[in-house]
Amino acid sequence: MSSKVKLGTLPLIYPIPIVLVGALVDDRPNFATIGDCGLVGIRPPLVSVSLHADHYTTRGIREHGAYSINIPCADMLVVTDYCGIVSGRDVDKSALFDVFYGEIAAAPLIAECPVNIECRVVEQVTIQHRQLFIAEVVQTHVSAEFVTDDGERKRIADLGQLAPIIYALDNRYYAIGPQIGTGYQEGKAYRPE
Amino acid sequence: MSSKVKLGTLPLIYPIPIVLVGALVDDRPNFATIGDCGLVGIRPPLVSVSLHADHYTTRGIREHGAYSINIPCADMLVVTDYCGIVSGRDVDKSALFDVFYGEIAAAPLIAECPVNIECRVVEQVTIQHRQLFIAEVVQTHVSAEFVTDDGERKRIADLGQLAPIIYALDNRYYAIGPQIGTGYQEGKAYRPE
């Protein structure tokens, strides 16, 4: 066995998805860049985001029980990083993007992001100063150029085209790499020794 | 504004981290491949995984209040995919890996994975048939070849070296791409128009 080094309590999960969480705060759309988010399930469709309890965005999500997840592409890196540096308390971030709405009035969506997910909070968990908002997906919007429709079903472009911004706890951003396989196929013929 | 297509309630978060969740089930180490996991916070160090309530691994986590997150690298794709296809009810997955333990007796760790995170459950949330386990990190282990220690601090290798398996809801696996920036730096000089 290769030797291991102990790093203490570092929550070293990777890759971390970088998303812009949208909420209405004081009746104004606000967007915060976070990596503390994830898939909770597909059926039912559940996601989660976690924020500092004192975060400006947190107040809006608490008040309205709703938020949006907007996934930027790599060419939005500068403005996305900027939205993680400045607070909506100090800067009107609604002016940075072309904002639109779907079914939830308190979930502002960013037109420039290829994917926008409208989320309604179903559970809240407070752990020390972290606030976890578990939500059901109400509607997902994808920019038309990333969807093909063969009549039978709508297919989403691959990650190479969606070009997400990926983060890790080395504080670096990364691009996506090439496809390396298909789910539930690669291990199909595997037989343990 | 580019036109948008509605995809219904698809929880289209990406990139999805592929991890092997370890637990003791019926006193045997078991490992399940999932993408429903994420970072919940750094201070305090919190993570979450979500499983089907009837999942074999779920029983072990419930019973012991502990699990591990083991992050495979791309050259483990076949066995990782396999662990997502077969259930621990039918196959003894403890035989697939070199298993070791850290501080939590009920959190089996996979030596072959470059990163192993020992997790103690602090909150459980049930939503329909999904079971979300929020946990604090007790200890994180990293294979020595991925850590450099300059005397002052330990640094982790970049994602290019850690070579995670990335997933998306197009059911494809992806490799990581090149570094494209540094957190809290790219947007520092940005001034909205």
Share of chain B above pLDDT 70, in %: 99
Q: Is the pLDDT of residue B140 over 90?
A: yes
Give the type of residue at A43: R
Kindly report, residue by residue over B60-84, the tens digit of the pLDDT: 999 999 999 999 999 999 999 999 9
CB contact under 8 A, A142 and B12: yes
Looking at the predicted structure, is the pLDDT value of residue A110 above 60? yes
Q: Give pLDDT, residue B1.
A: 55
Which residues does residue A165 pair with via DSSP β-bridges, in sequence order? none
Q: What would the mean pLDDT of A161-185 be, rounded to a whole number? A: 98
Interface test with A, best of B78, B150, B186 (most A CBs within 10 A): B186
Q: Which of A12, A85, A164 sits opposite B14 (nearest CB)?
A: A164
Complex ipTM, two decimals? 0.96
- Interface touch A159/B144, C-beta < 8 Å: no
Average pLDDT, chain A: 96
- Separation between Cα atoms, residue B104 and residue B44, nearest integer Å: 18
Among A155, A164, A186, the residue with its CB nearest the CB of B77 is A186
Contact A134/B125, CB-based, under 8 Å?
Answer: yes
Nearest CA distance, A193 vs chain B (angstrom): 8
A75-111 CB burial, b ≥16 within 10 A, e <16 = ebbebbbbbbebebeeeebbebbebebbebebbbbbb
Name the residue with tokens 């294979």: B143
- CA dist B87 and B93 (Å) reads 8
Residue A45 structure tokens: 């469709």
Burial label, A2 (beta-carbon count in 10 A; 0-12, 13-18, 19+): exposed
Half-sphere exposure of B26 (CA within 13 A, CB side): 6
- The tokens of A155 are what? 């297919």
Q: Assign A151 a pLDDT band (cuts: 50, 70, 90).
A: confident
Phi, psi (deg, nearest 5) at residue A59: -60, -40
Shortest Cα distance from A93 to chain B (angstroms)? 9
CA distances A81 to A109, A171, A177, Å, are: 18, 11, 21
CA distance B173 to chain A (A): 5
- Report the relative pairing of strands A115-127 and A66-71 from DSSP bridges: antiparallel
